[in-house]
Structure 1
């Protein structure tokens, strides 16, 4: 009994006629002045007393056990554990242990909420992956090409998801998204992509899709552009702008092409692949924004504007 009390448990003992012999360490919510003849009603109120009465009616043989959980107020939860014990003198007695389960139940509710959130986010992520797979297949002429493109896009998605998870699902900062993609495809030339402007904390959804857009742009720059051959720096800017009275974000990508890529139909060839679909349709639609993807006058320009959700830093 002292050990239980040290652990914060409350103990009551009743005889076979349910007369209280001992009441100790009751929680503050039921703390009452000393009573000459305490009862379940006087200690716990009529509602809980009624539930305890039904429970204790079954406690007629030694060793019988039962428990009851009650909620007091909005967030206090207590468990009543009742056990029939035969004493050497006086026969069957009812020993009740009252344990505060409030913190434990709070953690359980929080865990259930987190699991629901994980399920929701997982479904969203799977929907994005399905869309990427379908669009990649549509613009791939062979299985090898599909696998090559799909693996790259899937890796980009997973990297962005890592940033989101590291932030406890708050999202990812724009500069980190650019750095992540640059280090993947230009590990020894990260200086060739210069990012400036507002380092905005993006929502999880915006983080995933902007990460995908940056992936397409950097892969295109490495595969078709002049970034490695000429050493020209790609300028990426992120700026908060007011649009129709709403706080919005504008992302700009400015890349200079090689001369041979900006002539003889090279510009059209650059846009004739799934990357342009991601940049012009998939990404803006997913963030409720608008995009312009142009290749002209020896430059690749991409402009994406979309509303920032409340809570973005």
Structure 2
């Protein structure tokens, strides 16, 4: 993991900022850090909850190399007297790019063609099958997050002119700057031929799409989720997938890895990816660089560019 996140030159930059202690075994963190005076903690998605290995300890900065901090900080949020930053901005383009790729695969029936060519005797019939062009679809986006904004930029760059967003935090001025329209959730669902989820998981968004909401989507609509599986009720998702009425692109799943007996496996209208949206070489290098730069700002007494305050933390997945 260290080599994925930090290049040799980035590690050297960290060493130039102070004494660098590498503790890579989550099981031994508490013992290894006993008596170590920490000003800065660098954390990742593999870091266990702070309370289990550093009870009562408050570094001056927690520099998180990943996105969500909830598994580490929990419901207590940002510790008092501690600055917190995260590198999720580095992952936005990679996740948005995968969401776009899934839209194109499903609209152009590439998954269907692939199966047919791999199994010419028992594969699906493709004679006369025509795909649809993304630029001419009505595209709905749930969540104007960093990833949502990156996705919007990409689809608009491909010529999509009809893009609407459902996000209670998106103002009219901001929507106009993005070149999108605003809509409430139910109206967005009824309108969208392509629906892409880029919202965080919060108390308000868990299960926001259930059977009643999915039923509002037009027949044949494409639904892509590269955000969090919990945004969609699992039973409702499976029921719609089994019906064949909608097409799904899923990079996030309610159970990961996907069980072998999952009804989602093998469905011709479901395109699956094993939660790899941000897993690009470029994204990992950006995560490392953001972390190095944030620590350098902290050491210099400058303002952090990726700080997470309590209000922002409440809206994060």
Task: Please classify the TM superposition score into its range, dividing by the shorter chain length.
Answer: under 0.3
Which structure has the higher relative contact order (CA within 8 Å, separation 6+)?
2
- Scaled by the length of structure 1, the TM-score of the pair is 0.23
Q: Which has the higher helix share?
A: 1
Q: Which has the higher strand share?
A: 1
Larger radius of gyration: 1
